Amino acid sequence: MAFSAIAQGEVKMSIWGHTADGTAVPIYTLTDGQIEVKVTAYGAHLVSIKTPDRAGKMADVALGYDKLDTYLIKPNPYIGAIVGRYGNRIALGKFTLDEQTYQIPVNNGANALHGGPVGFDQYVWQAKEVQDGVEFTHVSPDGDMGFPGKLTATVRYTLKGNTLRINYSAKTDKATVVNLTNHSYFNLHGNDQGNILDQKIEINADHYTPVDAGLIPTGELAPVADTPMDFRKPEAIGARINADNEQLKRAGGYDFNWVLNGKPGTMHLAAIVTDPVSGRKLTVETTEPGVQFYSGNFLDGSFTGRHGVKYEKHAGFCLETQHFPDSPNHPDFPSTVLKPGETMFSTTTFTFGVEK
């Protein structure tokens, strides 16, 4: 069911706060019909998404914080962030490109996660308003966190009707690797309404990439059939999360990349999540070959979100559309290499609705 438009879409900007060095950080409010989205130039974070339930009651279904200051605390669980230059994990922080080996500082056990200790989530991006939204740009210099090439990354958020669209693009002046994604946590009950274990998820994938003890893909594309990873039909997130399964034990729940059915580079279904209680429904489509479904296993109450609620384990789920983790070290995976003269393009949409 789609929502009826009650107002023309609009974009409003205000200064949300300042970083430690005094840089002003704008926040943008996008509205169209009954949907309201807030995004900020700091880390190009998605801050909030307000949407109605089946009775028309509004709730914020994205985890987030009231104040910029909370986003500035490090380390953090990347709530709402754009992560890069390489989202997800790179084994030992090392990869070889054009016969040269590069070392990314490790920040997740023995591995590099989400671009290293100072990723794209920790910069104030340049912002400009566009039709129906805002475009953020960040220039990462050659050698930033060990990555080669001066990379110019652009992320555009637009809201049209009940669909939030994120367009990603990137260019480089030297061969490099890039894997940009959004790390929003969703809770269709409302971000302050308990855990997500009873919400039902469907993932459009016949295979996933199993991981070793360090949560690095083994290289196998394993069938989901007859495993707790099979979400080809809707299943409650919590139904099998504690199953006697080595993969689930390693991750403390779901934290894996699913190999999406559909041609990379063209829009295809990634996942559908529904909340039986509120009736809210989220449909995710993407041009990316994979989606990292993460069930908030490492949230531990150390961060307080809106309304003073501590975000505990399973307070939200992530659907990070992406290329596969550790792709630079797996030649058989879809390539994340970007060369001079090329442009990386990617699109993901989040469409909100209700089921009666």
Active site residues: 183, 320
8 A C-beta contact, residue 315 and residue 196: yes
Could you give the CA distance from residue 152 to residue 92 in angstroms, rounded to a whole number?
Answer: 25
Could you give the CA distance from residue 106 to residue 116 in angstroms, rounded to a whole number?
Answer: 6
Q: Which two tokens stand for residue 217?
A: 């893909």
Backbone angles phi, psi at 305, to 5 degrees: -90, -160
What is the number of other CB atoms lying within 10 angstroms of the CB of residue 326?
28
Collapsed DSSP state (helix, strand, coil) of residue 172: strand
Pairing between β-strand 181-182 and β-strand 176-177 as defined by DSSP bridges: unpaired
Could you give the CA distance from residue 30 to residue 91 in angstroms, rounded to a whole number?
Answer: 38
Could you give the CA distance from residue 58 to residue 118 in angstroms, rounded to a whole number?
Answer: 35
Collapsed DSSP state (helix, strand, coil) of residue 213: coil
Could you give the CA distance from residue 17 to residue 29 in angstroms, rounded to a whole number?
Answer: 15
